[in-house]
Amino acid sequence: MSVKVIKKFPDVEDFTYNYREWNRQFIEHNVILNGRYSQLYYPAHWTTLSLKFAFGGCEEYIFDKMRYRVDDNTYLILNRDTIYESLIDSDKQVESFTLNFTSGFVDEVFYSSFNRDDYLLSYPELRDRYPVNFFQKLYPHDSVIMKHIHSLKRLISSQEYEQAGVNEIMHLILEHIFRLQLNASIEADTISSAKRSTRYELYKRLNVAKDFIHSNYREAVDLEKLSLVSCMCPHHLLRKFKSHFGTTPHQYLTSVRLENAKKQVESTGIPITEICFNAGYESLSSFSELFKKHYRNSPETHRKLHRKKVNFQIA
């Protein structure tokens, strides 16, 4: 399977842009989209199975009335035939990095990954007739996926990259994603419910609530809003969320806000007051108290101590 690398996104408002011809590339080839953009918006469009990454900022994906925030710590999986919008709302350039897989490639990797060697040797050309679908949600970066992503980025940075090397890594990434999906299925089966279909639906809706928190932590997020986006009644959501994730939605919101604030305290010179507001808090005193409770020092002290630690390590 050939891999096509595209480093410049099309201008959809250009009269020469052909939607059908653009999509044809993703049917015939595995495609890597890689570019740096600021203040970019793409209206609703089609995708094949794709993995969405963003580096040096965040890119948002909108579908099923949800907004998913992909950043330096997470990536998003979209199934084939998903219609979505994408957005980079930043004056600073963000690196957008997407892997797109053809349906034939997905079927081949799936078939080869989950059948016995003797069966594969006897029926090498046989394929499953059922479409492969993934849990569409945010996933944390892991060492395996990031090792492959960094290898891909190094390879395609050359004008004369080797197709064979890129293709091999695409195989390895997709196989790893299949393994993650198997783990996700096992995780979904831990939810207490008699029917498997109900367990999977609960797993999907609980992750919608979790991803909504991750993607909208700067805004006011409460149980009622989460119940609307996940289509669950508030108490049912609270009970199942705590049972499955080991924390309540509000506790998870607090941890996401503080973790993002901590990163800004450590890696930027942004004033603490601005970091407080960026994290979704309106009261600086409440924010500082929470920060100190979780990290043992005030934001100001934490920044000073972190800089001393970094300077010591550099020296």
Task: Note whether 22 and 167 are same-domain residues.
Answer: yes
Task: Note whether 42 and 125 are same-domain residues.
Answer: yes
The token duo for 299 is 């934001």
Tell me the mean pLDDT per 10 residues along the chain, length 315: 88 88 93 96 95 97 96 96 96 97 90 62 56 90 97 89 92 95 92 88 97 96 96 97 96 96 94 95 94 95 83 51
Total domains in the fold of the chain: 3
Phi, psi of 9 (to 5 degrees): -75, 150
d(Cα 306, Cα 315) in Å, to the nearest integer?
A: 14
Identify the CATH number of the domain in which residue 271 sits.
1.10.10.60
The token duo for 287 is 């924010």
The token duo for 236 is 């049912």
Task: Note whether 257 and 241 are same-domain residues.
Answer: no
Task: Note whether 132 and 233 are same-domain residues.
Answer: no
Task: Note whether 222 and 127 are same-domain residues.
Answer: no
Residue 85: partners with Cβ closer than 8 Å, 6 or more residues away: 41, 42, 43, 44, 45, 61, 62, 63
Contact 222, 211 (CB under 8 A): no
The token duo for 158 is 């050359």
d(Cα 216, Cα 31) in Å, to the nearest integer?
A: 30
Task: Note whether 23 and 129 are same-domain residues.
Answer: yes
d(Cα 125, Cα 107) in Å, to the nearest integer?
A: 11
> Per 3-state DSSP, what percentage of the chain is helix, strand, and coil (rounded to 5)?
50, 20, 30
Contact 305, 297 (CB under 8 A): yes
Task: Note whether 12 and 137 are same-domain residues.
Answer: yes
User: Looking at the DSSP assignment, which residues form a beta bridge with residue 74?
Assistant: 140
Contact 57, 94 (CB under 8 A): yes
The domain of 41 spans: 3-188
Task: Note whether 223 and 144 are same-domain residues.
Answer: no
Q: What is the dihedral of CA 102, 114, 154, 3, to 10 degrees?
A: -20
Task: Note whether 113 and 140 are same-domain residues.
Answer: yes
What does the DSSP assignment read for 224-263? Answer: HHHHHHHTS-HHHHHHHHHHHHSS-HHHHHHHHHHHHHHH
Q: Residue 45's pLDDT is what?
A: 94
pTM over 0.75: yes
Contact 92, 36 (CB under 8 A): no
Task: Note whether 241 and 256 are same-domain residues.
Answer: no
Task: Note whether 181 and 275 are same-domain residues.
Answer: no
- Domain termination residue (choose one: 188, 205, 221): 188
CA angle 290, 294, 296 (to 5 degrees): 100
Tell me which residue has tokens 């890594």. 169
Task: Note whether 256 and 223 are same-domain residues.
Answer: no
Phi, psi of 247 (to 5 degrees): -155, 155
Contact 161, 170 (CB under 8 A): no
Q: Residue 314's pLDDT is what?
A: 47
Q: Residue 120's pLDDT is what?
A: 44
Identify the CATH number of the domain in which residue 19 sits.
2.60.120.280
* 299-314 and 249-267 helices, crossing angle to 10°: 50
d(Cα 167, Cα 127) in Å, to the nearest integer?
A: 20
